[in-house]
Structure 1
């Protein structure tokens, strides 16, 4: 099982300063760091060293970061955190829809990146098939389709349950609106159907959150989607 201490991380970024900063900072937190300056080298190293996590810049000099992500996803579910420009919301959505686990916007703080790395590694370690998911006060029994909060049964509609299951099964990851619509409502939907999503997220928050306006389980990623938060 992957643990955060000593995890092998591959950094794919063409900026020497960024690679050096990440290497020094992450090694100080006892990660085993490997680096690549091009997309082709990154794909090659990923296939050779089998990292526990990849930090991937989308703007690379040879092939795009999206192409690197697509190639890696052909054979591996390695957690991938992409680095994106702050104003490129479309890039974030495209990367998440293509299999990225999370994103950090440039310029970024090391504290935020470290937190994202820890969450991605924890999710990867927990991603084995588990019939019961436990998140602090919340328990989800996938086999029985039972949800309990503080030991009390929570009554959910089939759609509410399916939505919660998709989010909780990928706890810590950002799930885009498109992904949620496809997984919960199937292929017969349009992007304009996102208002259904907001309505059902609102229903879930009313049933699960002490204060729906300050959620601790389901976090909104504005303009992109939602993230089910891992509970300490």
Structure 2
């Protein structure tokens, strides 16, 4: 294990300055959005100069990439702590991690909403990780399409943060507070443990979707055939016309 650098050591100060910048950027990006947050805003929040941000990260885009990577890493760690390391059975765990978890989830939602290539790649990564995690833990084994299920769940969770103003209004509690976060999580827990369909209803809906999918394939095949025949007829007409002119 590496020896901790003492306070005052240049390497220690350099590391803590970088972490301060990253954490300040992550908070401001989550609150305001990435485009609306300037390098000067981040520097002021971190207590550093804009030049130091350029020294550590080079640009706001690179700083945002660092925040993305850090947020994903921390969310993965929290998930592992919760389910793989016994956090779910520890009554003090949620209280200890919920401020950080709220911030990370808010940040990742903002990052995905801006529509950048980085955000798209991060969402794909989230779905990949979620699908592997669910299958590794025996969840989704009965799903017809585990990837679709994982992607829908991921978007449902992110949607809570996108529409948090509406959720705060209908529940009469601010989602940015501990009380609001607790109530939101209770909703997710109850939703996850209460089947919304019976097995028979699920089978019936899957059968209806199978029929819809099959009908769609037949219609596409028929349409392609008609288009092909039309193109063939047009070609034949052109040839006949050319022969007549000759």
Report which of the two structures shows the higher radius of gyration computed on alpha carbons.
2
Q: Quick check: which one's strand share is greater?
A: 1
Q: Which has the higher helix share?
A: 2
User: TM-score normalized by structure 2?
Assistant: 0.28
